Structure 1
Amino acid sequence: MNELNSSILNELNLILKLAQISNFINFIKKKF
């Protein structure tokens, strides 16, 4: 059960990082 939870947390962290990257790219696109 613990390993499953940690894998889910890792997936969520990856999703959050991707969302932050896409937000950053959109921010740069709006600036230029």
Structure 2
Amino acid sequence: MESFLIWNVQHLVIIVIQQLQLECLVNPVVGLL
């Protein structure tokens, strides 16, 4: 069960990072801040 929770957290972190990268690509001003 713990390994499942850890995998879940890692999955969420990856999604958040991808979202941030998309925002930086769409809006360079936000990426610079």
Unaligned segments of structure 2, at least 5 residues: 29-33
TM-score, normalization: structure 2? 0.77
The count of corresponding residues between Structure 1 and Structure 2 is: 27
TM-score, normalization: structure 1? 0.79
Structure 1 stretches of 4+ with a deviation exceeding 6 A read none
Q: Which has the higher contact order (CA 8 A, sep 6+)?
A: 2
Identity of aligned residues (%): 11
Find the structure with the greater CA-based Rg.
1
